[in-house]
Chains A and B, each alone.
Chain A
Amino acid sequence: MTVAEAPVLAPEAAVMPAPVEEPEAKPRDILIICYSGELEKTWATMILATTGAAMGAKVRVFLTFWGLQTFVKDGRRITGENIMQKMMSAMQRPGISHRKLSKMNFLGMGPWMMRKLAKQYNVSSPQELLAIAQEMGVEFMPCQMTMDMFGLKREDMIDGLGEPVGAATVIGLLQGGDAPLFI
């Protein structure tokens, strides 16, 4: 929409005074530890990651345990190398489109209703927010240990993830002053 097409505001439109605030120094870097794999927590991670980037912060997301499963390609049904790893993926399907709710899952009825409501209220999906986050330069760092334990290979993971790292990288960033979020 161009400016010319903008709806003209009525003259009686309430005018709120713009707050006069001094801009602060560069915002702190943000480190989100994406530990959980449920739909609602995935959503929270994506909303906070995109908002952090929009507010000018450098945002990194460490993907570990169940949180890493979200970043397996949607099309991968069974992952892992040995039987137990394969059973784990069979019991809990990886991929961002297959997240379950921590409560009220009801065999997929809950997530279906949640997605329906999100659409109705114009809430962007986790998939859309992930694409935006990547576009905005949010850095996603897979946990090497979780990849090993679940038998996940780089080609199982979605494109655009960073190099796998360990806990020392996370602690180092926290010691360096990153604002932590454990989700």
Chain B
Amino acid sequence: MADQQVDARGLNCPMPIVKTAQAVKALTSGQTLEILATDPGSVKDFAAWSKSTGNELVEQTVDGGVYRFVMRKK
């Protein structure tokens, strides 16, 4: 279970990433964040965000148009 959650469903670029960055700030190293998004662009965007920030993308699923990402803060 993730320590925090961001519900970015319905939001368009760049808000899923922006909200995630804001939420990650409040976490301590090693804590996890679950993000729900409906923006199909977020799949590539979260991979890029993870690569740039070093926060690990530990899980990624899609179900019925809802993308779910779990990030672990570096």
Which residues of A are in contact with B by a Cβ distance under 8 Å? Answer: 1-3, 6-7, 9-10, 13-19, 21, 23-24, 27, 47, 50-51, 53-57, 121-124, 129, 132, 136
| Closest chain B residue to A12, Cβ basis | B63
| Closest chain A residue to B10, Cβ basis | A122
How many residues of chain B have a CB within 8 Å of chain A? 37
Are A16 and B53 within 8 A (Cβ)?
no
The dominant DSSP class at the A interface is loop
The dominant DSSP class at the B interface is mixed
Q: Which residues of A contact B22 (CB under 8 A)?
A: 54, 136
A24 to B66, CA, bound (A): 29
**Given A3-B1, A7-B66, A14-B63: A27 and B52 interface contact (C-beta under 8 Å):** yes
A19 to B58, CA, bound (A): 9
Q: Which residues of A contact B7 (CB under 8 A)?
A: 1
A122 to B11, CA, bound (A): 5
**Given A6-B34, A9-B68: A54 and B61 interface contact (C-beta under 8 Å):** no
Are A23 and B54 within 8 A (Cβ)?
yes
In the complex, per-residue mask of B1-44: 1 if CB is within 8 Å of any chain A CB, else 0: 11001010011111101101110000000000010100000010
Contact for A23 among B2, B15, B66, B74, CB less than 8 A: B74
Are B53 and A55 within 8 A (Cβ)?
yes
Are A55 and B62 within 8 A (Cβ)?
no
A148 to B43, CA, bound (A): 46
Are B51 and A132 within 8 A (Cβ)?
no
Are B14 and A50 within 8 A (Cβ)?
yes
Contact for B51 among A9, A15, A24, A121, CB less than 8 A: A24
Are A18 and B63 within 8 A (Cβ)?
no
Are B12 and A51 within 8 A (Cβ)?
no
A182 to B5, CA, bound (A): 36
